[in-house]
């Protein structure tokens, strides 16, 4: 029986993780749940999964939550609560399902305790990949990716030798604007950008998919997870999202992992690896899908993808600057303060202006994230 702590249990990945856990009551129990502010969903999850503790980030909601929930559960709400939860409580697997930079410090605490991390929160690896992978090795922890592309690559690499990999091929749906002209980006609305053709996800990653920053972040994530140089990580557009990614080996052979777009599968894999457990999730009906297509990404149209490759090549704190600028720019776009086309422009400005530090420690990364947020917030 494995005890699971879910950071971000009320979000898209968090809810799907509980959908998986619900199917295997003799394998997994819920040690802890955390949420930003959604106490109506969190209280239902507490009733069903009976965790020992929960973290609610929004302090004003903690009292309200304790009034709704009339069962024995410790409710924690302090500035440092996520880090404390990861540090102190008893659990075996941490599911990193928080969005953005906020996932970094609690994930590091779990790594220091040698836990298994089922990692959806790609931003953790984007901003601090070098430190995170070093700590994983030093502490005997493990990161099993939940991001579908990286889960696919992870599965393709089982039984293989990393030295025999020629390249990783990350597939990208291309998002809702795949077939739009670049000129459309000036007037693209929030609703249009949130209308992803294949995946239902949280709003930040959905906008990242529309700009293709999501694929850029995934290139950086793949670099740290699999230890391959940027030249060996390609992106190919595959609008059907059936092949979740591929590995090409030195003999030219390509292995792919396929499935319908459903995050339950990579979540389950990350929880049960190296085992595979039988489930009744929907199966992939290939004749029904009929057609799988592939083409090159348009780096001129999707500038964010280009910027992410550049940040990875630059190294140091460039990926941290890229990520922080993107988080703020996406937030501004979602609030209607800037145009869709301004997202890459703001990120470019931050990469130009914020000083890059090579071999940053965690304090430098936290400072860089803060400076970049301030910089973007103070631009008009």
| 205 contact choice in ligand NAD, Mg ion, none (CB below 5 to 8 Å, kind-dependent) | ligand NAD
In the complex, least distance from residue 152 CB atom to Mg ion, rounded to whole angstroms? 9
Side-chain-side CA neighbours of residue 24 (13 Å): 24
Integer Cα distance of 54 and 69 in angstroms: 11
Instruction: Tokens for 27, please give them.
Output: 């394998």
In the complex, least distance from residue 103 CB atom to ligand NAD, rounded to whole angstroms? 7
Residue choice 19, 36, 198, 341 for contact with ligand NAD (CB under 6 A):
36
Integer Cα distance of 191 and 96 in angstroms: 27
35 contributes a contact to ligand NAD by CB under 6 A: yes
Site for ligand NAD in 252-311 (CB under 6 A): 263
14 contributes a contact to ligand NAD by CB under 6 A: yes
CA 94 to chain centre: 14
Residue choice 123, 221, 303, 369 for contact with ligand NAD (CB under 6 A):
123
Concatenating the DSSP letter of every residue in 164-205 gives: GEEEEEEEE---TTTTS-GGGGGT--HHHHT--SS----HHH
Residues 6+ apart with CB under 8 A from 343: 207, 211, 213, 304, 326, 329, 330, 333
Residue choice 46, 93, 147, 259 for contact with ligand NAD (CB under 6 A):
147
Integer Cα distance of 305 and 60 in angstroms: 38
Residue choice 4, 30, 57, 368 for contact with ligand NAD (CB under 6 A):
57
| 97 contact choice in ligand NAD, Mg ion, none (CB below 5 to 8 Å, kind-dependent) | ligand NAD
Instruction: Using CA atoms of 361, 363, 369, 370 in order, give the dihedral in degrees to the nearest 10.
Output: -160
Residue choice 123, 147, 327, 331 for contact with Mg ion (CB under 5 A):
147
CA 222 to chain centre: 12
Instruction: Draw the binding track, 66-105, toward ligand NAD (x: CB under 6 A; -: no contact).
Output: -------------------------------xxx--x---
Residue 45 or 148 with smaller CB distance to Mg ion: 148
Residue 153 or 376 with smaller CB distance to Mg ion: 153
What is the chain's alpha carbon radius of gyration, rounded to the nearest angstrom? Answer: 20
Integer Cα distance of 169 and 159 in angstroms: 18
In the complex, least distance from residue 357 CB atom to ligand NAD, rounded to whole angstroms? 24
Of 29-37, 124-132, 144-152, 236-244, the window that binds Mg ion (rule: CB under 5 A) is 144-152
Query: How many residues are given for the chain?
Result: 380
Binding residues vs ligand NAD (CB under 6 A): 8-14, 35-36, 38, 57, 97-99, 102, 120-123, 147, 199, 201-202, 204-205, 263
Binding residues vs Mg ion (CB under 5 A): 147-149
């Amino acid at each position: 029986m494995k005890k699971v702590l879910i950071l971000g249990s009320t979000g898209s990945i968090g809810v799907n993780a509980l959908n998986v856990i619900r199917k295997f009551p003799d394998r997994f129990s819920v040690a802890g749940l955390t949420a930003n502010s959604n106490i109506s969903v969190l209280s239902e999850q507490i009733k069903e999964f009976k965790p020992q503790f929960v973290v609610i980030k929004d302090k004003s909601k903690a009292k309200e939550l304790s009034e709704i929930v009339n069962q024995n559960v410790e409710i924690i709400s302090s500035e440092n609560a996520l880090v404390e939860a990861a540090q102190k409580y008893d659990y075996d697997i941490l599911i990193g399902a928080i969005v953005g930079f906020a996932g970094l410090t609690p994930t590091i605490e779990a790594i220091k305790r040698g836990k298994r991390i089922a990692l959806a929160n790609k931003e953790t690896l984007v901003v601090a990949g070098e430190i995170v992978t070093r700590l994983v090795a030093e502490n005997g922890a493990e990161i099993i990716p939940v991001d579908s592309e990286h889960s696919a690559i992870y599965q393709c690499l089982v039984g293989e030798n990393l030295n025999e990999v020629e390249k990783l091929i990350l597939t990208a749906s291309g998002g809702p604007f795949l077939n739009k002209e670049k000129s459309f980006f000036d007037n693209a609305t929030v609703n249009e950008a949130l209308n992803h053709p294949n995946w239902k996800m949280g709003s930040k990653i959905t906008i990242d998919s529309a700009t293709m920053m999501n694929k850029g972040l995934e290139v950086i994530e793949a670099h740290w997870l699999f230890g391959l140089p940027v030249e060996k990580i390609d992106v190919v557009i595959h609008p059907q999202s059936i092949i979740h990614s591929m590995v090409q080996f030195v003999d030219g052979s390509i292995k792919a992992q396929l499935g319908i777009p459903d995050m339950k599968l990579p979540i389950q894999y990350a929880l049960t690896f190296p085992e595979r457990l039988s489930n009744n999730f929907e199966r992939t009906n290939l004749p029904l899908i009929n057609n799988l297509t592939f083409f090159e990404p348009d780096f001129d149209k999707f500038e964010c993808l280009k910027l992410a490759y550049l940040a990875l090549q630059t190294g140091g704190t460039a990926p941290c600057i890229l990520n922080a600028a993107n988080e703020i720019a996406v937030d501004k776009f979602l609030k209607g303060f800037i145009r869709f086309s301004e997202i890459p422009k703001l990120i470019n400005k931050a990469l130009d202006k914020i000083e890059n530090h090579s071999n940053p420690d965690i304090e430098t990364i936290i400072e860089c994230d803060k400076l970049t947020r301030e910089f973007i917030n103070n631009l008009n």
